[in-house]
Amino acid sequence: MRRSGWIEDRQGRTGRRWRARYRAPDGRIRSRSFDRKVDADRWLVARLGSIDRGDWIAPEAGDIPLAEAAEAWLAGLDIKPKTRAGYESLLRSRVRPAFGDLPVNRIAPAMVREWIAEMSAEGLSASRIKQAKQVLSAPLKLAVDDGILARDATSGVKVPTVRRREQRFLTAEQVTVLATAAENAQTGAGLVVETLAWVGMRWGELVALRRPRVHMLRRRIEIAESATELGSGLSWGAPKTHERRLVTMPAFLADRLAARLGTIADDGLIFTAPKGGPLRSSPFRQAVWVPAVEASGLEQLRIHDLRGTAASLMISSGANIKAVQRQLGHASAAMTLDLYGHLYEDDLDALSEALDRRFVAATAPLQTRPERGSSDSPAPLSRPERTPKGSGAVVELDGSTRKTLM
């Protein structure tokens, strides 16, 4: 549509004022007054520019409160219960108290920066602050996509740097010591530790593992389900990447699992609490993990570190990155490389040595050939003399020539 805009010079009780006006795409005349003409010009140019670009949005379109926008965003998500619970917790504790009653079009980047600074001053972790900002940003981005907001106020606002926790990787000997200590703390707990450390399953995948998923003849375990703790209960669902996978296990572990399968019902859980029922992380940590870690001299070790240990053991045993990815259930090999690629650095020395051996093998025949001109060298092949073009002669295979009729 044809755009039009103008500025009016008005004299009021408070002095001279400049009113910028334009005809909006909805046909209405929109206006705003300023004390300075330069501000009126700047505002009008911005509004007319948005009309030209086709991204003009009526000012009243973003009057929806953030709390309402967040509720609509959350209702439209297809996510796991644990993820939903985490979002709800952040909305309840961090986002709604600061922005819940504000219309989405009144939230400014400066307000977001101040909010982040306050959370940092409270001592909230960098990862938690990042998550809070993501939950605030999501409904604002949805409002932009729906055409009721021109821009996400969180865009470009920085959060504290999240520092990745240093990973711990146990040796095979340390895993054995830890498993022994766990077994001393609770019968059957040693097998839990060994399965986590040698297979690389997530805790929730191990909790949900049932007898039909263990294939002893092929030494395979089918990861098809995961258990997630939500408050006092468990939520059962697909693994983290929503895909089933087959993982392998070493023979010694298959033998120990085979002995355990004989005591489990047809569809029973492989690992259970001492009094029955699924394993729960908190009781296991208190009764088994903490005492076993202390007894093994492995302070500040997390249960999740056994998953990294499994990756380390696989890589040191010669597994390629795709095999490690499949075993751990990562969405891509790039993710596996990002987490554990540094463990392949030792392969560079082996690669250098292998390339050197390849070079030596390729050049060895050349080094044993006789030198040119020696008595053992074969005589060089002689070329027949070139016959002038058009001479009517044909060169025979033995080097002689014969005349031909022209």
Query: What three-state secondary structure class fits 134?
Result: helix
- The enclosing H or E element of 217 equals none
Q: What are the 10-residue block averages of pLDDT along the chain, 406 residues in total?
A: 75 81 80 89 86 73 85 90 91 95 92 95 92 95 84 92 84 96 96 96 95 93 91 84 87 93 89 93 95 94 94 89 91 85 74 83 70 53 47 45 47
d(CA 182, CA 205): 20
**Closest residue by Cα to residue 152 from 160, 144, 161, 164:** 144
- Alpha-helical regions (H) of 123-239: 126-145, 172-185, 189-199, 203-207
d(CA 193, CA 306): 8
d(CA 87, CA 75): 11
pLDDT score for 390? 47
Contact 30, 6 (CB under 8 A): no
Q: Six-digit token pair at 87?
A: 């979002």
Contact 190, 179 (CB under 8 A): yes
Q: Output Rg (C-alpha) for the chain, integer angstroms.
A: 37
Q: Which residues contact 85 (CB under 8 A, 6 or more apart)?
A: 230
d(CA 362, CA 380): 25
The DSSP bridge pattern shows strands 393-395 and 245-248 to be unpaired
The DSSP bridge pattern shows strands 220-223 and 226-230 to be unpaired
pLDDT score for 398? 43
**Residues facing 31 on adjacent strands:** 21
Go through the chain and tell me how many residues it has. 406
Q: Which residues contact 310 (CB under 8 A, 6 or more apart)?
A: 196, 197, 198, 199, 200, 327, 328
d(CA 24, CA 27): 5
